[in-house]
Amino acid sequence: MTNKSYLILAINPGSTSTKIAVFENEQEQFSLNVEHDAEVLKTFADVQDQLEYRKKTIVEALESKGVDAASIDVYVGRGGGLVAVDSGAFVVTDRLLEDARKGMAGQHPAQLGSQICDALAKQYGGEAYIYNAPDVDEYDSISRVSGLKGVYRQCHIHTLNQKEIALRYAAEHDVDYDRINLIICHIGGGISVTAHRQGRMVDGNDIIRGEGPMTPTRAGSLPTIDVLDLCFKDGANKKAIKDRLTKNGGLIDHLGTADAREVEQRIKNGDAYARIVYDAMLYQVAKNAGACAATLKGELEAIILTGGMAHSEYIVDFLRDYIGWIAPLVVMPGEFEMEALAAGALRVARGEEEPRLYTGAPVWNGF
Pair 239, 308 in one domain: yes
Pair 308, 165 in one domain: yes
Q: Is residue 109 in a domain?
A: yes
Q: Is the dihedral of CA 331, 335, 337, 343 positive or negative?
A: negative
d(CA 354, CA 343): 13
Question: How many independent structural domains does the chain possess?
Answer: 2
Print the domain residue range for 127: 7-137+337-349
Residue-level pLDDT at 38: 86
Q: Is residue 32 in a domain?
A: yes
Q: Is residue 143 in a domain?
A: no
Pair 119, 181 in one domain: no
Pair 35, 55 in one domain: yes
Residue-level pLDDT at 107: 80
- Reading across the β-sheet that carries 200-204, which strands appear in turn? 200-204, 191-197, 181-187, 302-306, 329-331
Pair 175, 199 in one domain: yes
Q: Is residue 289 in a domain?
A: yes
Residue-level pLDDT at 119: 97
Q: Is residue 291 in a domain?
A: yes
d(CA 207, CA 65): 36
Pair 193, 324 in one domain: yes
The residues of the chain scoring below 70 in pLDDT are: 1-2
pTM: 0.91
Express each pLDDT in 200-241 by its tens digit.
999 999 998 899 999 999 999 999 999 999 999 988 999 999
Pair 169, 309 in one domain: yes
Pair 173, 122 in one domain: no
Q: What is the CATH number of the domain that holds 204?
A: 3.30.420.40
Q: Is residue 24 in a domain?
A: yes
d(CA 32, CA 10): 10
Residue-level pLDDT at 208: 86
Pair 69, 205 in one domain: no
- Helix 260-268 to helix 313-323 angle (10° resolution) is 80
Closest to 132 measured CA to CA, from 157, 103, 100: 157
Q: Is residue 166 in a domain?
A: yes
Pair 132, 164 in one domain: no
Q: Helix, strand, coil: what percent of the chain each, to 5?
A: 40, 20, 40
Pair 291, 317 in one domain: yes
Pair 182, 124 in one domain: no
Residues in the chain: 367
Residue-level pLDDT at 2: 58
Residue-level pLDDT at 16: 87
Q: Is residue 365 in a domain?
A: no
Residue-level pLDDT at 105: 75
